[in-house]
Structure 1
Amino acid sequence: MTPTGSDSARWQGELDALAEAPEADWLERGRALTLQGAAESALAVYSQAALRFPDSLDVRLGLAGLLWQRAAHAEAEAVLRDWLTMRPGDAAAAFLLTRFLRERGRLQAAAEVMRQLFAHGPHDTDTVIDAVELLDDYGRPQDAAAICEEAIAAGAEDARLYAYAGMLAIQLGQFARVRERYGYALAHHPDAVNWNIPLGLAGLQRYADEAHPDLALFREVLQRPGLPERTRFSTLFALGKAYDDLGDYARAVDVLRQANASVHAHSQWSRKLWKRSVEARLAAPTNAVTLEAPTDWTPIFVVGAPRSGTTLLARLLARHSEVCNRGELGWLDVVAQRLGSTPSGQRQALQDAAARYAMHLRQDDAQARWLIDKQPLNLLHVDLIMAMWPNARVLWCTRGARDTALSLWSQSFHDAAHDYAYDFDDIAAVIHGCARLGAHWLARYPEAVRSVSYEALVEAPEQTLGDLLPWLGLPASAMANAQPHEGSISTASAWQARQPVYTRSAGRWRHYAPYLPELLKLPEH
């Protein structure tokens, strides 16, 4: 791998100067050349160092990292895989390779690297947690949970592992295991209540009895002195959800007001910036460049105001044997931000962006030809969607504004992007902006955008889906008895979306109207 060519004399000079130097000097020189932008010289140094110091992990990591920066992805992967063949328990090399694979959308391959790392012997708890967090962030909760459970089965006693196992079990719909794992964490660590466990427990079922021990736990936690603010408001949300289940709407409102006020006091969300963003989308012309549509796959974007039925619709569609639901990806917003500094009309920039996003949507674990991204606020980027994929289908979920607002206000979100959800005026701005955007896109792209009413979906799910399938280009015959590709739900709907479709959340706002007059300021439909 030693470079050749007109500059070989200079590179050879670098190598000659280091000929008798210790490993540390080679590493220092390689890093310095990299920082100076002398990538070819740095590559020569790292390549020769790998031959001189074949047992050095630092040299291999440096060489692989430099190759990756230079887009020599296959070579970088080979360097790390060769190392792991000899040292399969090396966590640093495994984690770096996992990150590289994820960047290329190879999430299944990335998960396999992590699984193989732990198959070759035990690791300390912090390494296990790092792997679990990494895989969960990559949308691989099944693999993260497997690593957790293998550590627990091997005798791990750290309460943090049990809390992580419980959190992952929620996403996977393993609700009995959630209670078992959370129970262990609560019994074995005094700070376990600070790990969102009350909120997780509240989402496991619909409470029917005020004597349920969870309610006693929530109340006891709220009485603890010195309770961290985050634990306090998340537990209030848990207790509010329990009161809602019991039909005690007055007490639900009381504790939810406390919870929302606590979070809203620290919110950085800007209503002004949101409105400007919406206006900018409405005023923008269509993109000057439109790429050719792919012929072998179709992206489906399920969008709308959050809590408008996006999770339910995406999961029902994923029952189809040719549909894969990727959940809420964040990549389209990243692509939009990167293209924001690129003058409109540059085809190459758009092609690169489309290819990058497609890697993360298609991935390497499914043969489905229709793939869903159900990030609701992709509603902001429909022009970009249609420029990159003219064959895309956009499903705009609509729901009564009062029910949507109540559902948002009743939830605790972990993402600061949803900090509007703790104030009714902010919520109203988001709902209104989403309605304007949806109507705008429907008028601009009538062949590619379809609105789906939440109320109609829950009232007649099979009919609603049956009407959508021909428009999506999906054969209806593959829907019957099909199993969804998606195995996890990471949103607040993890339990709800797995229940039989029900109608009780349609018109739910009426129970709250006497206690939440703010709802009546919103349109009913």
Structure 2
Amino acid sequence: MMQQGAGAWLERGRAQVLRGDVDGAMATFAAALAEHPGSADLVVALAGLEWQRGRTSDAEARLQGLLEREQGQLAAAFLLARLQREQARMGAVERTLRAVDWRAARVGERIQAIELLDDCGRKRAALDLAEAAIGVHADDARLHAYAGMLAMQLGEFELARERYAFALRNDPRALEWQSAYGYAVSKRYADGDDADFALMQDFVARPQLADAARASVLFGLGKMHDDVGRPALAAENLREANRLVAAQLPWSAKDWRRLVAARLDAKAIASSTSVGSDDDFAPVFVLGLPRSGTTLVADWLARHPAVCNRGELPLVARLAADVARAANPAVAREAAARMYRIQVREDDTQARWFIDKQPLNFLHVDFILAALPHARIVYCRRHVRDTALSIWMQHFAGPEYAFAYDFERIAAVAQGEQRLRTAALQRHGARVREVSYEDFVADPLAATNALATWIGLPPHDFSRTSAAERVISTASAWQARQPVHARSIGRWRTYADYLPELLGFADD
């Protein structure tokens, strides 16, 4: 029988896939590889179907073999990295993409890899790849903007400003990528005559600037005015920024109150007894209103070598929603606990204590403590007027923070959070510990030692920072790396004349 070309085999197998005959397509590709063992396209096609059929070990071995022979096979590298990401093997994802020969790669392919590493939380690897890409494609503003964001999260502020500045100088789209905001928050300004003020004003004045981009610039400009002690101008810019964002993000106070009421009225959930009770896995959830000190507390706890800080994970809300929809909640909760453990542990550490500092997890305390019996909740609390002001002054990412751009919305969320906090302390007092922001900044070492003892961490000198690299991907990327200070306590009073809405919050 005359041999078919590899392309003909590919067309035949793909047609079978389109008809829903996956098993037939796998047989076709296997037969094709017997004739064309050197075809990378056939290897990738068969490995993709093996992964789809749950034969992940076969798929991984096939792709690894191809990449050992041809390090520049990007399709194989991306498929292998995605397979590894699905299994929460983020270290393996990094190793796979670092080993690729990128010399022939296009800019879009490099950005795709940077985004994948970023999504996997491998910020250093993503920045390294971005910097290497800039060495080849020095004029691409997208690479500079992405490198600026990653450098900011890694605390490399000078590099962040350099990269953001290039993007802003060379591509008008950089304003839509929030590069101006990143540029503004990567430095604490001390001089009101700094040339950056004129630069930001020029950006705001651009007539064709979209509302989202204009809001981003105004948030940055407001922060700069605040830095140099001009609260009136800061409030003016921030009020317009918040108005623009709030207009784009609908939010219902009625729906919020119903959600809080449902949480408060829910019956107690029986704790899981199998996967969730794993003695080797003790997650620590640091939560509370945004800007209440969650990043600060998590960062101090993560100085302990036995603690791994995973940052603000989106897992709990999604898993809780899956359980709520399930026909058998108990079984679904066991599956959710198993999934949470896999996703949080990843493959790069043997730690027992893992920090999840998603602030909005305060909506899911009952679910967390039922699914994960070894979990502990660190509930952060801060003076509500200071908290409200700090929330309002930040430009958050994600629709879950739609409440953050209007003081009435913030007040409704703060009231609901206070009710949920009270209920959590009453229901789960032994597993929930409240931490005052004001007390913490007064003596962070004593506060951290007390928390560590309560959590059950081995003794450690928290006055020494951990050797592990600190990645802060939240709105607190700059502040959390500065020495602890009490300047933000009572800060609302500076703005009371310009933001009278603050007086509507309870004076706690």
> Any residues of structure 2 matched to 1:152-231 within 5 Å, and which?
152-154=134-136, 156-231=138-213
Give the Å deviation of 1:357. 1.5
> Any residues of structure 2 matched to 1:39-438 within 5 Å, and which?
39-118=22-101, 121-154=103-136, 156-288=138-270, 290-292=272-274, 293-347=277-331, 349-438=332-421
Opposite residue 306 of structure 1, the aligned amino acid is: P
Give the Å deviation of 1:343. 3.0
Partner SS for 1:507: coil
Report Cα offsets for 1:387-443 as digits up to 9, x if no partner. Answer: 221111111111111111111111112212111111111111111122222221221
Counterparts of 1:225 and 1:197 in 2: how far apart (Å)? 18
Partner SS for 2:163: helix
> Percent identity, aligned pairs only?
47
Partner SS for 2:380: strand
Give the Å deviation of 1:48. 2.7
In the superposition, relative to structure 1, how do residues 435 and 276 fare at CA in structure 2: closer, same or farther (>3 Å)?
same
Partner SS for 2:248: coil
Give the Å deviation of 1:61. 2.8
Partner SS for 2:290: coil
Aligned to 2:448: 465
Partner SS for 1:303: strand
Residues 165 and 183 in structure 2, CA contact (< 8 A), matched pair in contact too:
no
Identify which range, 19-28 or 201-210, moves more after superposition: 19-28
- Please provide the CA RMSD for this pair: 2.1
Report Cα offsets for 1:362-410 as digits up to 9, x if no partner. Answer: 1111222211011111112222212221111111111111111111111
In the superposition, relative to structure 1, how do residues 321 and 422 fare at CA in structure 2: closer, same or farther (>3 Å)?
same
Give the Å deviation of 1:207. 1.5
Counterparts of 1:291 and 1:269 in 2: how far apart (Å)? 38
Residues 288 and 344 in structure 1, CA contact (< 8 A), matched pair in contact too:
no
> Any residues of structure 2 matched to 1:494-509 within 5 Å, and which?
494-509=477-492
Give the Å deviation of 1:20. 6.5
Partner SS for 1:506: coil
Residues 271 and 372 in structure 2, CA contact (< 8 A), matched pair in contact too:
no
Counterparts of 1:358 and 1:302 in 2: how far apart (Å)? 17
In the superposition, relative to structure 1, how do residues 503 and 121 fare at CA in structure 2: closer, same or farther (>3 Å)?
same
Partner SS for 2:430: coil
Whether 1:492 and 2:475 are equivalent positions in the alignment is yes
Report Cα offsets for 1:177-201 as digits up to 9, x if no partner. Answer: 1122222223333443333122112
Report Cα offsets for 1:103-131 as digits up to 9, x if no partner. Answer: 1111111011111114x524221111111
Counterparts of 1:340 and 1:49 in 2: how far apart (Å)? 46
Opposite residue 33 of structure 2, the aligned amino acid is: A
Unaligned runs of 5+ in 1: 1-17
Counterparts of 1:24 and 1:423 in 2: how far apart (Å)? 58
Give the Å deviation of 1:99. 1.2
Counterparts of 1:283 and 1:186 in 2: how far apart (Å)? 51
TM-score by length of 2: 0.94
TM-score by length of 1: 0.91
Partner SS for 1:450: strand
Opposite residue 455 of structure 1, the aligned amino acid is: E
Residues 445 and 462 in structure 2, CA contact (< 8 A), matched pair in contact too:
no
Opposite residue 83 of structure 1, the aligned amino acid is: L
Unaligned runs of 5+ in 2: none
The alignment of Structure 1 onto Structure 2 pairs a total of residues equal to: 506
Counterparts of 1:345 and 1:137 in 2: how far apart (Å)? 29
Residues 379 and 437 in structure 1, CA contact (< 8 A), matched pair in contact too:
yes
Residues 107 and 137 in structure 2, CA contact (< 8 A), matched pair in contact too:
no
Report Cα offsets for 1:136-159 as digits up to 9, x if no partner. Answer: 122111111001111223463212
Identify which range, 78-87 or 50-59, moves more after superposition: 50-59
Counterparts of 1:325 and 1:309 in 2: how far apart (Å)? 15
Aligned to 1:4: none
Counterparts of 1:155 and 1:67 in 2: how far apart (Å)? 36
Give the Å deviation of 1:475. 1.8
Counterparts of 1:247 and 1:452 in 2: how far apart (Å)? 30
Counterparts of 2:423 and 2:328 in 1: how far apart (Å)? 20
Opposite residue 133 of structure 2, the aligned amino acid is: A
Opposite residue 383 of structure 1, the aligned amino acid is: D
Residues 300 and 462 in structure 2, CA contact (< 8 A), matched pair in contact too:
no
